[in-house]
Amino acid sequence: MSMQPREELVHVIQGQFRIADKPNQILSTLLGSCVAACMRDPVLGIGGMNHFLLPGNDPNSTNNVKYGAHSMEQLVNGLLRRGALRERIEAQLFGGANIVAGLTKIGDSNCLFARQFMRDEGFRLVREDLGGTRGRKIRFKPSTGQVLVEPIDALAADTATRSPARKLPNVKSGEVDLF
């Protein structure tokens, strides 16, 4: 009786991409208006996930990974460097919720960008769960292509995936620190 290796959870936060090439690796992220692309080479069983905040290109041309174009390029190139073949890569898209009614529809813009990128680059889109008003927790297992999508509060998702908040020191009332 052989034991399965324990799952290794790899978190992907805003502006990041990660490649997983071990069968026990699971890529995970929280999405609100952001979009994550899960891409894999089913023959090699390797894949990756990105998490971008804004559609298109960085207007300042600094190739900022929070922009979709650079983030998608990083993910695709990361897979190709690991031996994936472009013609075998399949993609799944998630996120792009419109969180606050009346504000700019950044979620819609991210969805449009992601779909257009897949069409323009000729990648096979096998699944999408885009738009709406709910956030999503995504768990992607590149070795099998399985994705678990759990609905969550979108505003909490957008807040949680930014850099962690600084914790204020716990000071009892009446105490004074001198510097």
> Which residue among 19, 27, 34, 75 is the active-site one?
34
- Tell me whether residue 34 is one of the annotated catalytic residues: yes
Q: What is the DSSP string of the chain?
A: -PPPPPPEEEE--TT-EEEE-STTEEEEEEESS-EEEEEEETTTTEEEEE-BSBSS--TT-S--TTBHHHHHHHHHHHHHHTT--GGG-EEEEEE----STTS--HHHHHHHHHHHHHHHHT-EEEEEEE-SS-EEEEEEETTTTEEEEEEE-HHHHHHHTSSPPPPPP---TT-----
List active site positions: 34
